[in-house]
Amino acid sequence: MVRRIAVALLLSLGCKEPAQPTPPPAPRPAAAATRTDDCDEKKFARVGGDVKPPVVKHRVPPAYPKTARRIRVDTRIVLDVFVRSDGTVCTVKIVQASWQYVFDEPTVNAVRQWTFEPATRNGKPVDCVFPLTVRFGLQ
């Protein structure tokens, strides 16, 4: 009631109506991920010790977003990549997001298409998870 009276008084004096406060942006999930239904992350071994890391066989480059290219953004994204014992990607989780999040989706979509020589433990292929850093930059 008091606010309405104050606004009416200000308008009668020739002032513009005060702007409404901008609501805060919706919170972003801590770690975005893509996954398939057959991926039980608890069964994936962390690379290190007796688990040898997978080796990239086929890499799909992530798309560089046009707006970021135009203003020449350099950034990096840190991912946890879950690779099955057959060398296919099961899940990609974002550990450290990119500048304004514009690189996250293209990076996850690209890495999901990568294939690997699987990680090994004692010479046998195993499901594993390992960190991967993807950098974006213009020369």
Q: How many residues does the chain have?
A: 139
Checking if the pLDDT of 118 tops 70, the result is yes
Topology of domain 23-136 in CATH is TolA/TonB C-terminal domain (3.30.2420)
Which pLDDT does position 98 carry in this prediction? 77
Which pLDDT does position 97 carry in this prediction? 87
Domain edges within the chain: 23-136
Residue 32 contacts residue 109 (beta carbons within 8 Å): no
Checking if the pLDDT of 107 tops 60, the result is yes
Quote the mean pLDDT of the chain.
81
Checking if the pLDDT of 31 tops 50, the result is no
Reported confidence tier of residue 36, pLDDT bands at 50, 70, 90: low
Name the amino acid, one letter, at 2. Answer: V
Q: Tens digit of pLDDT for each residue in 43-84?
A: 999 999 999 999 999 999 999 999 888 988 889 999 999 999
Distances (CA, A) of 42 to 38, 91, 130: 12, 12, 13
pTM greater than the 0.75 cutoff: no
